[in-house]
Structure 1
Amino acid sequence: MPPAPENFADSPPDALSDLLQAVHLRGGEITRSVADRPRRDRHPAGRRMLHIVEHGAVRLEFRGSDPVDLGSGDMALLARGDAHVVRAADAGWMTGGFVVDHPVADPLLTVLPAAIVIRADSPGVPWLTMGLRLMLDEFTDPRPGSRVMLSRLLDLLFIRALRVWAAAGQQSRPGWLTAAMDPAVGPVLSAIHRDPTRDWSVDDLAALASLSRSAFATRFAALLGQPPVAYVHRQRLDRAAHLLASTTESVARIATRVGYTSDAAFSRAFTRAYGESPRTWRKTAQPPP
């Protein structure tokens, strides 16, 4: 019999996909700029965007960071939303914005640099030239579906830039995004998030990462800033907090659902993490992301 066709939908989820879904990333407005004389555009903080140069030279200036010079075909992703100035003369470039859920995105994307720069002549990035060409085509000659096409193109460029950043080994600060991009720890995070109530042992998680127990524990702590077991416990409590704020289930029932066999143990752990007992916290809480 011929082998059954592969279905991508059946592949296991990855942590980066989980993250992008959590922040509700989607491409937004696109503008096209041309400077035939010296020009300076200011962009305030809080707007996540990318710039791709069509022709000429463009400089991005940041407060407290070195400027970034872009040439023809180069792209800079400003995923943190840092305030910056675009300086150009005799140049053309496209700017795309992104819409995210800020309360969720802000802490996750803070590990990134002010700008992730992708050079057009870098090896392994033919997608950048293709993306610019497709954006220009849909922008200059809009047809039915162009708005959605441009939004999807921005999403793809965002994700590709994150991959390049991770592959270059430029992560310098612990955080969920840094760990999600790690080939060993990323699948472990997905497994924990899918089933935080499971009695995960360090050995179980190390096996998922295909690492020894000690190597895994060291790598996990370096990327997340906390030991694996502490991370699992926090995920359980965050799940409990969401249930407390979004359902009317009893505290005892929620404690059982998130893996605690004792109400008292759950109450103590929750109070240490959130500063209030589950019942007190529930009265004024909003569901955490």
Structure 2
Amino acid sequence: MDVLADILAATRFGGVLLAQLRSGRPDWGCGIDPAPTAGFHLVAEGVCWLRTADRPPLRLLPGDVVLLPRGARHELVGAPESAAVRYADLEAAHPPGRGGVVDLGGGGPVVRIVCGKFTHEGTAGRHPVLAALPEVIHVPGLSADAELQATVRLIAAETTNRRPGAQALATRLTDVLFVQVVRAWLERLDEAADAADAGRALDGAGPSWLTALRDPRIGTALSLLHDEPQRPWTVEGLARAVAMSRPAFAQRFKDLVGNSPLAYLAGLRIDRAAHLLRNTDDLVGDIARTVGYTSEFAFSRAFSRRHGIAPGRYRRSTPAPAPAPTSTPAPAAV
């Protein structure tokens, strides 16, 4: 079981292109308000700077990608000291043209930035992938792997041409881009671990199931849990499956993932159940058995502890799932 793919599919995770910023002025600046989910920027042309709280300005070059997993407030500016105007005000002053381009004008060197976000099911701010990532991930264009750069170049190209299907193709590629950025971050952790500098590479993200995927045995244990969450797993059984002693496995799992194997399994079962409640008409009791509970009462108690609401009320209060995005919507906000 590919754990990352499983979670992205179960939460209907997908990218949406929102707008493009274009400027030929040296003093431009765009302020982006906090958002409930991840946003990203891809520098298609030119040079600009990213400003975030508690960090020095970061210079962005052509091909660079910035992911903000928890939608932190940030600014894109033409120079480190440039003033930033809220995106909504920029959009009002420069209505988006064809392709969602917000053109700020100017006759100098052109900067073009492709902006988008990622949507998902479930509670805002609790997505298991986004919660495992740091506040900002920067993938430099010059040092990224060839596959990621091919995706970046294709998105940059498709957002400039008017060929049939360009918007749909570019939007689909944002899903590929997300996985490649996460891979690049994990590879940077591996390199930092070799240099005894993993703490800086984590940048406040901390241990999680995502970083634990780098460990062959714990990664295998996570795959087993995702493949059969309904199975009556025990710590002993998981330890045997990955050829470790029970104490060594339990300690390593907790050190790398951040909680115990059975606590992780409990959360996985409830997340699966929440997905089924949102997307099926199955009875609550049937869902409980599907995810591994022998008692509907025990399932309801566990579900309420995690979500603060009973399964039935959760289903009634959850909007029907929106179809997966297939094209670029009218740009409303970055």
**TM-score, scaled relative to structure 1:** 0.75
Residue in structure 2 matched with residue 271 of structure 1 by the alignment = 301
Contact 2:44 2:114 (8 Å CA) reproduced: no
* 1:173 counterpart = 2:206: yes
Paired residue type of 2:239: A
- Separation of aligned partners in 2, 1:121 and 1:219: 36
What SS is found at the alignment partner of 1:106?
Answer: coil
Aligned pairs for 1:152-231 (under 5 A) are 152-169=172-189, 170-171=201-202, 172-179=205-212, 183-209=216-242, 211-231=244-264
Residues 105 and 282 (structure 1), Cα distance of their counterparts in 2 relative to 1, 3 Å cut: closer
CA displacement at 1:116 relative to structure 2: 1.0
- Separation of aligned partners in 2, 1:102 and 1:111: 17
Residues 258 and 77 (structure 1), Cα distance of their counterparts in 2 relative to 1, 3 Å cut: closer
Cα RMSD between the aligned structures? 3.5
CA displacement at 1:162 relative to structure 2: 0.2
- Separation of aligned partners in 2, 1:99 and 1:269: 30
Match of residue 68, structure 1, among 51, 58, 67: 58
Paired residue type of 2:133: L
Aligned pairs for 1:99-114 (under 5 A) are 99-101=118-120, 103-104=122-123, 106-107=125-126, 108=128, 109-114=130-135
- Separation of aligned partners in 2, 1:234 and 1:153: 30
Aligned sequence identity (%): 32
CA displacement at 1:119 relative to structure 2: 1.6
Q: Which is worse superposed, 54-63 or 181-190?
A: 181-190
CA displacement at 1:28 relative to structure 2: 1.7
Contact 1:59 1:87 (8 Å CA) reproduced: yes
Paired residue type of 2:229: P
CA displacement at 1:217 relative to structure 2: 1.9
CA displacement at 1:236 relative to structure 2: 4.2
Residue in structure 2 matched with residue 9 of structure 1 by the alignment = none
What SS is found at the alignment partner of 2:42?
Answer: strand
Residue in structure 2 matched with residue 24 of structure 1 by the alignment = 12
Contact 1:96 1:154 (8 Å CA) reproduced: no
What SS is found at the alignment partner of 1:127?
Answer: helix
Residues 141 and 178 (structure 1), Cα distance of their counterparts in 2 relative to 1, 3 Å cut: same
- Separation of aligned partners in 2, 1:281 and 1:56: 51
Paired residue type of 2:238: L
* 1:144 counterpart = 2:164: yes
Question: Could you list the runs of 5+ residues in structure 2 that have no partner in the other structure?
Answer: 80-108, 190-200, 322-334
- Separation of aligned partners in 1, 2:13 and 2:314: 25
What SS is found at the alignment partner of 1:168?
Answer: helix
Q: Which is worse superposed, 145-154 or 21-30?
A: 21-30
What SS is found at the alignment partner of 1:69?
Answer: strand
- Separation of aligned partners in 1, 2:215 and 2:123: 20
Match of residue 97, structure 1, among 116, 122, 138: 116
What SS is found at the alignment partner of 1:285?
Answer: helix
Contact 2:125 2:131 (8 Å CA) reproduced: yes
Question: Could you list the runs of 5+ residues in structure 1 that have no partner in the other structure?
Answer: 1-12
CA displacement at 1:38 relative to structure 2: 0.9
Number of aligned residue pairs: give it: 269
Residues 226 and 163 (structure 1), Cα distance of their counterparts in 2 relative to 1, 3 Å cut: same
Higher relative contact order (CA 8 A, sep 6+): 2
* 1:79 counterpart = 2:69: yes
Contact 1:22 1:104 (8 Å CA) reproduced: no
Paired residue type of 2:228: D
Contact 2:40 2:67 (8 Å CA) reproduced: yes
Residue in structure 2 matched with residue 285 of structure 1 by the alignment = 314
Residue in structure 2 matched with residue 43 of structure 1 by the alignment = 32
